[in-house]
Amino acid sequence: MPPAPTPIQLVETAGAEAALAALPAAQAAWAKLQDFSGRLGQVLQLPAADGGLDRVLFGWGDAAARRRGRFHLGRAPAALPAGRYALETPLPPSEALTEALGWELARYRFDLYKPAPVPGAMLDTPEGVDPARLAALVEGAALARDLVNTPAEEMGPAQIEAAIRALAGRHGAKVSSIVGDALLEQDLNLIHAVGRAAGPGREPRLVDLRWGDPAAPKITLVGKGVAFDTGGLGIKPSGSMALMKKDMGGAANAIGLAAMIMALELPVRLRLLVPAVENSISGPSFRPGDVFRSRAGLTVEVNHTDAEGRLVLADALAVGQEEAPKLMACLATLTGAARVALGPDLPPVFTDDDGLAGALAEGAAALADPLWRMPFWDPYEEMIEPAIADLDNAPGGGMAGAITAALFLRRFAGDAESFVHVDIYGWTPSAKPGRPKGGEMQAARALLHAIETRFL
Task: Give 195-224 pLDDT, tens digit per residue.
Answer: 999 999 999 999 999 999 999 999 999 999
pLDDT score of 3:
84
Domain containing 348 — which CATH number? 3.40.630.10
Per DSSP, the three-state class of 131 is helix
**Residue 1 pLDDT > 80:** no
Domain containing 48 — which CATH number? 3.40.220.10
Of the listed 84, 236, 293, 373, which one is catalytic? 236
pLDDT band at 229 (very low <50, low <70, confident <90, very high): very high
**Residue 104 pLDDT > 90:** yes
Cα distance between residue 136 and residue 260, in whole Å: 5
pLDDT score of 319:
98
pLDDT score of 398:
83
Range of the domain at 306: 134-454
pLDDT band at 2 (very low <50, low <70, confident <90, very high): confident
Average pLDDT for 434-441: 98
Boundary-marking domain end, from 87, 107, 129: 129
Helices H / strands E in the chain, number of each: 15, 19
Boundary-marking domain end, from 129, 161, 191: 129
In whole numbers, what is the pLDDT of the chain averaged over residues?
97
pLDDT score of 396:
86
What is the percentage of the chain residues whose pLDDT exceeds 90? 98
138/109 same-domain check:
no
220/196 same-domain check:
yes
Dump strand ranges (E) for 144-284.
Answer: 174-179, 205-211, 218-223, 225-229, 269-279
Note if the pTM is more than 0.95: yes
Average pLDDT for 92-105: 97
46/187 same-domain check:
no
Q: Is 435 a catalytic residue?
A: no
DSSP helix, strand, coil percent of the chain (3-state; round to 5): 40, 20, 40
302/413 same-domain check:
yes
Q: State the number of CA atoms in the 13 A half-sphere of 435 facing the CB.
A: 20
313-346, pLDDT tens digit by residue? 999 999 999 999 999 999 999 999 999 999 999 9
Of the listed 202, 310, 326, 435, which one is catalytic? 310
What is the percentage of the chain residues whose pLDDT exceeds 70? 100
Does any domain span residue 155? Answer: yes
pLDDT score of 439:
98
DSSP H stretches of helix in 213-300: 238-241, 249-263
Does any domain span residue 1? Answer: no
Cα distance between residue 293 and residue 89, in whole Å: 60
Boundary-marking domain end, from 97, 129, 161: 129
Q: Is 310 a catalytic residue?
A: yes
Cα distance between residue 88 and residue 65, in whole Å: 21
**Residue 386 pLDDT > 80:** yes
**Residue 226 pLDDT > 80:** yes
Average pLDDT for 34-40: 98
pLDDT score of 397:
84
Average pLDDT for 377-397: 95
141/23 same-domain check:
no
pLDDT score of 101:
98
pLDDT score of 393:
96
pLDDT score of 279:
98
61-84, pLDDT tens digit by residue? 999 999 999 999 999 999 999 999
pLDDT score of 67:
96
DSSP H stretches of helix in 367-455: 401-410, 444-454
pLDDT score of 359:
98
Query: In this structure, are residues 392 and 367 in contact, taking their beta carbons and an 8 Å threshold?
Result: no
